[in-house]
Structures are given as C-alpha cells and as structure tokens.
Amino acid sequence: MKIATWNVRGIAEKMEELQTELLKRKIDIAILTETKNKNKGLEDIGNYVMIYCGVPTNQWAKSGVKVKVKQPRYRPGVAQRVPGS
C-alpha cells in the first residue's frame, strides 16, 4: 500500500495534476492539507473516493483537509465516521 501527503495550498487548480500524479505513482491513499475547501463531505471521483473537511460556507476559505482513497480500498462504512458527511 502506498500512502502520500501533499500540502496543496489550494486545490481548485490542482485537481487534474493531482489525479495524474496519484495514478502515475500508484498511490492508494493521499492526505491533502491546506485544501482551502468549504464544507464537509464525500465525493466519488473516478478511481478515488474523496473525504473532505473545510470551513463553513459563510467563512473565507482557509485550511482544510482531504483524504483520497483508491476505490478498491474504500469501504462505505468509512463515511459514517466522518462528521458532517
């Protein structure tokens, strides 16, 4: 199993690059910090499931964390443990 971390300092413009690198390097789990996203939730994005937590919608986007888990390793019960998802 390969695990990676990346301080992305804002994820909006880096999603395509991130997806390419994760597939190229065969990363199973990626922890992304300083994503600057809002809200909390779970997203299915192709080969990965993304679990994320950021600031409330009414606040300026800062901080934030995302965890991307490769689909075969993801189990739906994980989302039940994420507050707000």
Residue by residue, pLDDT tens for the chain (85 residues) are: 889 888 888 877 888 888 888 889 988 888 888 888 888 888 887 788 888 888 888 887 777 777 778 876 555 555 444 444 4
Determine the distance from the C-alpha atom of residue 38 to the mean position of all C-alpha atoms in its chain, rounded to a whole number. Answer: 12
Q: Are 8 and 15 in contact (CB under 8 A)?
A: no
Q: DSSP letter for 25, please.
A: T
- CA-wise closest residue to 63 among 5, 6, 9, 4: 9
Determine the distance from the C-alpha atom of residue 45 to the mean position of all C-alpha atoms in its chain, rounded to a whole number. Answer: 10
Q: Are 42 and 18 in contact (CB under 8 A)?
A: no
pTM for the model stands at: 0.71
